[in-house]
Structure 1
Amino acid sequence: MLKIIITSLLLSSVLSTSKPTIGILTNPSDLKDYDKSLYSYFPSSYVKWIEQAGARVIPIHWDSSYDEITVILNSINGVLFTGGDVDLYLNNTQPGFTFNKFTDTASFIFQKVIQFNKSGKFYPLLGICQGFQLINYIASSYYEVLTRMTDDLGKQRLLEIVPDEDSFVLKSIDTITLDYLKNIDGPYYSHNWGVIQQTYEKAYSLGAFFKIIAYSRDGIDLKYVAICEAREFPIYGYQFHPEKHQFEWITKATHDVQHIKYSQQLAMDFISMAKKNDNTISDEELAKLIIYNYQQINRMDKPNTSFSQVYLFERQRNETKSDQQQLGIYYNIKFFRKHH
């Protein structure tokens, strides 16, 4: 189905845009000096990574209403879920469901992206690191997908590629660069948790929705998923950080030619996909929403930080019981559950 969608859109000059705009989902703040009850954020490196590939960025606030988010999704051309340090799991310990608003906002966006693609509008969604874990969690119907990793904070690991001629991710990386990442020096990882192949086997809906494109191994040789992509939709994820090789200078990510090249290739491929839908936003509306309206904070003087700069956002609203009652979590679970 994905190849059919891609082919049909490539043949059409109407369903495309030359000025793509990407929505980046904000994270509740895990910065020690900016409390999450008051602030959200994402690293500036993701904005730079998107912009150097030829697109603009609009933040999607994780605590916005569904109506507000829908308006933005109808105007942009793709969505990015970034890295971070958020507790993703829904809290099911109390009678009924009490909800993790951040995860449910991501679930709502995930479901809308599926709906767009089913209706014929090519609409990519990319998750990086925490964002990778988030899309795996959602596609699993909220199975506890994460496994503890050992010694993968600030490490570069070789990729173990699963041969797949139909993989749109692999097609975006040239063979010389791919050989380098497989055999010489792999992508940069900064994570304590990962998703292993056995989880794909246990959580039926996860393996039914995504296919595994590549693996890496942690410090004790535990094999985990490094790249996944959806079987029918342009939804995919990287457990590693392509953006850090170009735009983060206080981490151990190398800045050699091959890593810069693969980073650029992945960014360009994402934006090329975003150009394949015809969503547009007026100049006036873009001026109100674009990332330049927000404060960028220097973090280089902070100890134990991974980010040179972050964009900081004041919280839009607080979670309410009314919000929680409208989250639609049951619909999402029903959508991904195996039907016997």
Structure 2
Amino acid sequence: MRARTVLRNIVICLVNDGVNILLLRWMSAVDSLTATLIMKGAVLLTVVYLLHCEGATVVRTDDYPVVNDRPIIGVLSQEQSYYLHTKYPEENYTSYIAASYVKDVEASGARVVPILIGKDRAYYEELMGKINGVLIPGGATYFNQSDGYADAGQHIYEIAQQLNDAGDYFPIFGTCLGFELLIILASGRGYPENRITCYSYSNIPLDFTDDYKSSKMFKEAPEDITEMLGKENVTVNAHQFCIVDENLISYNLTDDWRVTSHSLDDYGVKFIASVEHTRYPFYGVQFHPEKSSFEWKLSKNYPHSINAVKSNRYFMDFFVKECRKSLHQFESQAEENQYVIYNYEPHFTGVLGSAYHQCYLFEPRGTST
């Protein structure tokens, strides 16, 4: 569609050029009144020419982005946990997505397509050509399992780099384990992994860097939101690994990844809490913005105050706004309907003792019962 529009505008520009040349030649053979009228018409044609020629090149800027009002975001699944497997021993579920991530995306005005693990490169390339961004969620899986979460994440990371290098805006957001995966992929996967062990299972504030307000993630953040995030215990942390400044320094990542905040774990270790790529629209947070609104296990003590909900909503609202800059789309409504999360039913896993209130469960080929 965009190519047809560009071609049409180029043709209009060429036609207007020809008309203007003919007018100039004709003016020498007519009286002054007629010439004046013709000149006014030529000026009008010139304005039309300029307007159409400006439209012949699609340019995206930060101030005037192209906006997609029907964004669809892919959420990466991960290996089925041993605990959930024991609760569904007869089913062939091999991967899952916590429903809180799906709800978080939907609450910000986007729809979700599940991204399955264990697929070949072509699967991820095709799907990423139809969706507008990818959320890599947190969880509890390893990065060394074949055809799993990390392998799929690597495909997604590399394809997104290629798209952005070609001028095709494509954002990624990593939460907790997803954030750690982004940094490890940037470091080069291998042993030892570029992260450290730490222990953070508390609700804590963010310690913003001095220049955080000039970052892409926070430059438009309302003051009341950053005030809550910086002074109240509203960010949910649930991780036994983390990324520290030394991880970026030792792998020469400080030019590519910008730290915007830190937090302290339960033993005082200072870890990176939020980060963004300096060239690509890639973002990561070590905490869980989705849990304040959508996870309810009492023993976890997640903050559900108005301030906790309001401040954590900012992150997915920001990411979905980024995804609106992508113009990818499915070929038809029928094709779109085949991919969206509505084809699957969430299971009430919280009643079975899971930390996740609800989960989407997938079989190897993405089927579900």
1:280 aligned partner, one-letter code: Q
Q: Secondary structure at the match of 2:83?
A: coil
What does residue 48 of structure 2 align with? none
Q: 1:47 aligns with which of 102, 105, 111?
A: 102
Distance in 2, Cα, partners of 1:34 & 1:16? 41
> Residues 141-290 of structure 1 correspond to what in structure 2 (within 5 A)?
141-142=188-189, 144-150=193-199, 152-153=200-201, 155-164=202-211, 165-204=213-252, 206-250=253-297, 251-281=300-330, 282-290=332-340
What does residue 20 of structure 1 align with? 71
Among all aligned residue pairs of Structure 1 and Structure 2, give the percentage whose two residues are the same amino acid. Answer: 26
Higher alpha-carbon Rg = 2
What does residue 329 of structure 1 align with? none
Deviation of 1:257 (Å): 1.5
Contact 1:81 1:127 in 2 (8 A): yes
Distance in 1, Cα, partners of 2:93 & 2:292? 31
Contact 2:173 2:283 in 1 (8 A): yes
Deviation of 1:293 (Å): 1.0
Structure possessing the higher relative contact order (Cα contacts under 8 Å, 6 or more residues apart): 1
TM-score in terms of structure 2 length: 0.76
Note the alpha carbon deviations across 1:244-276, whole angstroms, 9 max, x for none. 011111132111121111222211111111111
Deviation of 1:38 (Å): 4.2
1:118 aligns with 2:165: yes
Deviation of 1:142 (Å): 2.1
> How many residues are aligned here?
299
2:96 aligned partner, one-letter code: Y
What does residue 122 of structure 2 align with? 67
Distance in 2, Cα, partners of 1:265 & 1:238? 12
Q: 2:155 aligns with which of 108, 114, 120?
A: 108
Contact 1:172 1:265 in 2 (8 A): no
Deviation of 1:7 (Å): 6.0
Structure 1, unmatched stretches of 5+, are 1-5, 91-98, 318-340
C-alpha spacing 1:302/1:33, structure 2 compared with 1 (3 Å): same
1:196 aligned partner, one-letter code: V
Contact 2:93 2:361 in 1 (8 A): no
Q: 2:349 aligns with which of 280, 295, 299?
A: 299
Q: Secondary structure at the match of 1:266?
A: helix
Q: 1:56 aligns with which of 96, 107, 111?
A: 111
Contact 2:207 2:263 in 1 (8 A): yes
Note the alpha carbon deviations across 1:168-192, whole angstroms, 9 max, x for none. 1112432122122212224111111
C-alpha spacing 1:217/1:112, structure 2 compared with 1 (3 Å): same
Contact 1:9 1:276 in 2 (8 A): no
Q: Secondary structure at the match of 1:46?
A: helix
C-alpha spacing 1:33/1:276, structure 2 compared with 1 (3 Å): closer
Contact 2:133 2:170 in 1 (8 A): yes
Q: What RMSD, in angstroms, separates the aligned Cα atoms of the two structures?
A: 2.1
TM-score in terms of structure 1 length: 0.83
Distance in 1, Cα, partners of 2:129 & 2:250? 35
Distance in 1, Cα, partners of 2:231 & 2:144? 35
Distance in 1, Cα, partners of 2:82 & 2:349? 10
Contact 2:235 2:312 in 1 (8 A): no
What does residue 32 of structure 1 align with? 83
What does residue 94 of structure 1 align with? none
Deviation of 1:33 (Å): 3.6
Deviation of 1:70 (Å): 1.3
What does residue 328 of structure 1 align with? none
C-alpha spacing 1:298/1:49, structure 2 compared with 1 (3 Å): same
Note the alpha carbon deviations across 1:43-95, whole angstroms, 9 max, x for none. 000000000111010011011221122111000001000011111147xxxxx
Contact 1:75 1:280 in 2 (8 A): yes
What does residue 4 of structure 2 align with? none
Q: Secondary structure at the match of 2:85?
A: coil
Distance in 2, Cα, partners of 1:17 & 1:275? 5
Contact 1:173 1:262 in 2 (8 A): no
